[in-house]
Structure 1
Amino acid sequence: MEDRPKRGYVSRLRHDNAEATRLRIAEAARALMLERGYAATTMGEVAAAAGVAVQTLYTACPGGKPGLAKVVYDVTLAGDAQPLPQHARPAVQAIIAEPDPARKLARYAEMVLAIARRVGPVHRVLRAAAAATPADGGLHDLLAETERQRRTGARGPAEHLAAAGLLRPGLTADRAADEIYVLTSFETFERLTEVCAWTDDDYREWLTRTLAVTLLG
C-alpha cells in the first residue's frame, strides 16, 4: 500500500517526460520540414535537432517518416503534446457554452483561424510532398486520414447546432457538417489570405458571416 503514491509519481513523471520528448520532436521536425521540405528532412537530422537518439525518434513516431509527419501534424493541430481530445479543449468548451448563435459561430471562426495559421503551413508542405511522390503510400494515407479527421470534426459543431434547434429549416446535421468541412478547408484559407491578400480579420469576419448565412435558421 505504501508504494502506491511513489508508483503514481513515477508513472506521472514518465508521462510528462514522454510528452516533453514528443513536443521537442514535433517542434524540431516542423521547423526542418517548413525550411527544407518533407523529402529533404531526414530522421537523423530531426533526432539531432530534438536532442534524442534516432531509436527514440522511431519509438515515438511509429511508421517511420510518415509517422513523424503525423506527430508533427497532430501536435501542431492541438497546439501542445497533451493527449486531450479536441472536444475537451477549452476553446471548444467555450463554443459549446456560448448561448448566442452568432457569437457561437464567431468563437468557432476564431478557433478555425487559429488552427489554420498553425497547421496550414504544415499541411501545405505535406500536400506538396505527396504530389511529388505518388508512390509514398504512408504519406498519402496520412493526408487521407487528416481529411477524414476534418470531416469527423465538422460533425461536432453541426450536431451541436442541430441539437440546439439552430439549423435553418430543411438543413440536416449531415449536410451542415459537409458545408462546415468545405468552408473551413486549409485551401480556402490559403486562397483568401494569400492569393486574395485578405487579413486575418477579413477571413474571420467572412467565415463568421458565411457560416451564419449557411447554417442558421
Structure 2
Amino acid sequence: MSEKPKRRYVSHLRRQNAEATRLRIAEAARTLMLERGYAATTMADVAQAAGVVVQTLYSACPGGKPGLAKVVYDVTLAGDAQPIPQSARPQVQAIIAEPDPVQKLSMFAAMAVAIFQRVGPVHRVLRAAAAADAGLSDLLASTEQQRLVGSRGPAEDLAAIGALRTGLTVERAADQVYALTSFELFERFTEICGWSVGDFQDWLARILAEALLEPAERERR
C-alpha cells in the first residue's frame, strides 16, 4: 500500500519529463523548419538545438522526419505537449457548454482563427515540401482527414440542441465546417485579399451561422 503513492509520483514525473522533452523538440524543430525549410532541417540539427541525443529524437518522433513533422504540427496545434485530445480542452468544452448557437459559432470562429495564426506558418512549410516527400504527403493527408472528422464536433453539438438548419445532416454540416476552416481559405482572405484577422473572424462566424443554423436562430440575434 505504501508503495503506490511513490509509483504514481514516479510515473507523473516521467510523464512531465517526457512532455517537456517533446515540447523542447517541437519548438526547436519548428524554429529550424521556419528558418530553413523542411528539406534543409536535419534530425541531427534538431537534436542539437533541442539539447537531446539523436536517439532520443527518434524515440520521441516515431517515423523519422515525417514523425518529427507530426510532433511539430500536433504541439503547435495544441499549444502544448500535453496528451489531451482537442475535444477535451477547456476552450472546446466552453463552446459545448454555451447554450446559444450563434455565440457557439462565434466562439468556434475565434478558436479556429487562433489555430490558423499558430499553425499556419508550419502548415505552409510542410505543404511546400510535401510534393517531394511521400511520408510528409501522407502526414498532411492524415491531418486533413483528422480535420474532417473533427468538424463533426461542432455539427453534432448544434444538432444536439436542435439548431441545425432543417434538412441539413450532421455529415453535410461537418463538410461545410471543414471547408470553411481551411488554412488555405484563411491565407487567401488575409494575405491575398488583404483582410484583417478580425474581419476574417467576423466573416467566418457569420457565414457559419448562415450556412448551418435555422433562420430563426440567427434572427434572434
TM tier, smaller: over 0.9
Q: Does 1:149 align with 2:151?
A: no
1:36 aligned residue: 36
Instruction: Give 2:63's aligned residue.
Output: 63
Q: Cα RMSD between the aligned structures?
A: 0.7
Pairwise mapping of residues 108-123 of structure 1 onto structure 2 (< 5 A)? 108-123=108-123
The residue that corresponds to 1:11 in the other structure is 11
Structure 2, unaligned runs of 5 or more? 215-221
Deviation at 1:200, TM superposition (A): 1.1
> 2:130 & 2:139 partners in 1: Cα distance?
10
Percent of counterpart pairs with the same letter? 73
Partner of 2:218: none
**Alignment length, in residue pairs?**
214
Q: TM-score, normalised by structure 2?
A: 0.96
Structure 1 unaligned segments of length 5 or more: list them: none
- Quote how far apart the aligned CAs of 1:55 are: 0.5
Give the equivalent residue in structure 1 for 2:180: 183
Letter in 2 for 1:128: A
Q: Distance in 1 between matches of 2:6 and 2:159?
A: 47
Q: Aligned residue for 1:87?
A: 87
Question: In 2, distance between residues paired with 1:60 and 1:53?
Answer: 11
Is 1:173 the counterpart of 2:170? The answer is: yes
Equivalent residue, structure 2, for 1:160? 157
Partner AA of 1:52 in structure 2: V
Deviates more, 1:3-12 or 1:171-180: 3-12
Give the whole-Å Cα distance in 2 for the aligned partners of 1:100 and 1:167.
12
Q: Which runs of at least 4 in structure 1 moved beyond 6 Å after TM superposition? A: none
Deviates more, 1:66-75 or 1:160-169: 160-169
1:100-133: CA deviation from partner (whole Å, max 9, x where unpaired)? 11111100000000000011111110000013x0
Instruction: State the SS of the aligned residue for 1:84.
Output: coil
| TM-score with structure 1 setting the length | 0.97
Find the counterpart in structure 1 of residue 217 from structure 2.
Answer: none
Q: How many angstroms does 1:137 deviate by?
A: 2.0
